[in-house]
Structure 1
């Protein structure tokens, strides 16, 4: 930690528990697709390509999870906050940061109850890896301390601006709509494959 107390790095401290049932399902699906691709000729040509895509996506998902465990971290310094995930790093300078917020984890696929996002003035959010109540024993105190120390680097206090709050709400609504469209498209694609088979 630097002399001004802003230099911090948050990385994995505790193991994330992967549900065994989820891992088991992934292995069973992967194995079934391998067997089907190797032994059974699909009734339509797109079936083999579908299997090949799935055979690539499942290991890619595992590789990204392993890279995230190794590379993922949140780095805080005098210049701003950097959020590093499996393959990219998002840097936010202090003057571009609108807010740092803890939000309830609604996805429920992780151990953390609270996860942290940094918002910019356009309402875009970036998740801060490993800055959560699963990795940090006194999470809320750590967040309050970070906000207090970083206020001097921002040059202003943390205050809400109605126009940015509207953008944040609009982006949250757009994320929900996009997720619903994606789920609908996946269900429709699965139904089409079942009907074509």
Structure 2
């Protein structure tokens, strides 16, 4: 099955796979712009007579490739696979698998990249330590009945977990703490990026 529903005849099935059905959630024009910028950088590197300044051009090429290559790989490899043994999230590079007893919760969350991606809601799996991982292509852009599909998945997976979906205060505390840490690291990364851009402008 591919996640259209949770049934096979009259028997509920947990086996399903969520993969790309529509165009990339991230618009093609963003990738095209990145490729154009990368091509221009390569052209400058090839024609720049000042060899001493080529280091920053090479750095920019690496940055562009670091954005384009994962997007292309994600398009081909990305998927979420659900079975009786557990759930697997496969992104551009990594593959993470959780047995059902290691899954604390599966939650729909508003997409923080809503201005960039078409999906408004996406899905995360949380483990018992409060760590979360995004489930590829399990969102309302790829699935028209996204919330119904998520509710059905939670219902059919509960027997395999051996327990109902219940909140545990200790795990919820860890989830909140990790969420705060992500915000702090986000601010640090933005500040570092701004500092890098300023240094680049001053050095050039």
Does 2:175 match 1:179?
Answer: no
The C-alpha deviation readout for 1:108-140, integer Å capped at 9, x for no partner, is: 221111100000011100111111111111111
In the alignment, structure 1 residue 57 sits paired with structure 2 residue 63: yes
Q: Over the residues paired in the alignment, what is the CA RMSD in angstroms?
A: 2.0
| Residue 142 (structure 1) aligns with | 149
> Are 2:27 and 2:117, in contact at CA under 8 Å, matched by a contact in 1?
no
1:48 and 2:54 matched: yes
Q: How many equivalent residue pairs?
A: 195
1:121 paired with 2:121, answer: no
Long gaps (5+) in structure 1: none
Secondary structure of the 2:189 match is helix
Matched, 1:88 2:94: yes
Distance in 2 between residues matched to 1:80 and 1:113, nearest whole Å: 26
CA distance in 2, matches of 1:9, 1:133: 15
The two structures have a TM-score, normalised by structure 2, of 0.87
Per the alignment, do residues 177 and 139 of structure 1 end up closer, same or farther by CA in structure 2, a change over 3 Å counting? same
Among candidates 6, 13, 25, match of residue 5 of structure 1: 13
Q: Find the aligned partners of 1:57 and 1:125 in 2 and give their Cα distance.
A: 26
Out of 75, 85, 109, which is 1:103 matched to?
Answer: 109
SS of aligned partner of 2:122: strand
Residue by residue over 1:77-102, the C-alpha shift from the partner in whole angstroms, topping out at 9 and shown as x without a partner, is: 11110001111110011001000000
How far is 1:41 from its partner?
Answer: 4.2
Change (3 A) 1:41 1:172: farther
1:30 Cα shift?
A: 1.5
| Paired position in structure 1 for 2:166 | 159
